[in-house]
Amino acid sequence: MKNSLGLLALVILSLSSISSAQTKYDRPRLITVSGTAEVKVVPDQAVLVFGVESRDKELAGAKADHDNRMKRVLGVVRNAGVDEKDVATSRLSMDLEYPERKWAAQPSGYDVSQTVTVTLKNLDKYESLVSALLSAGVNRIQSVEFRVGEPAKYREEARINAIKVAKEKATAMAAQLDQTIGKPWDINEGMNYDGPMQVQANAYAFSTMERSGGGGGGDERTTVAGVSVIRAFVTVSFELQ
């Protein structure tokens, strides 16, 4: 009985080894290539982060000035047609100001500030909104970022183009070896990423527009959204025929 069981185990082990060897042997000849593609898109949204800051010798005075500024600023945003869900305000911040003598017991004034983040989905209103915000009381600019509202569809376009590039590359390389490519054996997508939108300097233009006088004649825009570059990378293995 023991001999029979031992023989059975040996047969099973032998069959497993044969099967494993057969699987390795059946792996087709492959050519592996990569493909990269990019889609350039003009941003259609802007995210503005700005602040309202008020100073006064008295806390009540600083708070009152801040509240008036904020009411005007939020009114400007509403009049621009910005949806309420696209507006966010930070918590109110209050700081004490002291004279140069650090040992002074009493503060010389109070600083009340708050930050507002606005997502503008109609860039045609960008210039007018900026001017109105500055006039309404915005006195601190943190950032202006231009972005693509629906990047997913452009990433899909880039991905499809990257696969086409990989297939064309494999076809050309195989042809040099008197071969053709067959079905894809393996497909892997690399890390897709968006290139810079070339808008970092525009935050400065945003904050200095009024002081510069805006220029005259022709196109009076002071900010250009630039271009967002959306890239895709894939690796594909094709059977060689």
Q: How far apart are CA 96 and CA 94, in angstroms?
A: 7
Helices (H), the chain: 2-26, 59-79, 126-136, 151-175, 202-212
For the segment 196-209, the average pLDDT, to the nearest whole number, is 41
- Count the helix, strand and coil residues of the chain and give each as a percent rounded to the nearest 5: 40, 30, 25
Q: Is residue 223 part of a domain?
A: no
For the segment 61-88, the average pLDDT, to the nearest whole number, is 95
For the segment 144-152, the average pLDDT, to the nearest whole number, is 89
**Confidence at residue 100, expressed as pLDDT on a 0 to 100 scale:** 72
- The single-letter DSSP state of residue 175 is H
Q: Give the Cβ contact number of residue 144 at 10 Å.
A: 24
Structure token digits, residue 145: 């970022």
Domain CATH code at residue 56:
3.30.70.2970
Q: Is residue 160 part of a domain?
A: no
Q: How far apart are CA 56 and CA 66, in angstroms?
A: 10
Q: Is residue 87 part of a domain?
A: yes
**Confidence at residue 105, expressed as pLDDT on a 0 to 100 scale:** 67
Q: Is residue 129 part of a domain?
A: yes
**Confidence at residue 228, expressed as pLDDT on a 0 to 100 scale:** 86
User: Can you name the residues that pair with 39 across neighbouring β-strands?
Assistant: 230
For the segment 125-142, the average pLDDT, to the nearest whole number, is 92
Tens of pLDDT, residues 25-71:
567 899 999 999 999 999 999 999 999 999 999 999 999 999 999 99
Q: Is residue 195 part of a domain?
A: no
Residue 106's pLDDT band, with cuts at 50, 70 and 90, is confident
| Total domain count, the chain | 1
Assess whether pLDDT exceeds 70 at residue 192. no
**Confidence at residue 215, expressed as pLDDT on a 0 to 100 scale:** 43
For the segment 196-224, the average pLDDT, to the nearest whole number, is 45
Q: Cα–Cα–Cα angle for 61, 204, 198, nearest 5°?
A: 140
Q: Which residues contact 50 (CB under 8 A, 6 or more apart)?
A: 115, 116, 118, 133, 138, 140, 141, 142
Q: Is residue 105 part of a domain?
A: yes
Q: Is residue 189 part of a domain?
A: no
Residue 107's pLDDT band, with cuts at 50, 70 and 90, is confident
Q: Is residue 222 part of a domain?
A: no
Q: Which residue segment(s) compose the domain that 105 sits in? A: 45-147
Assess whether pLDDT exceeds 60 at residue 179. yes
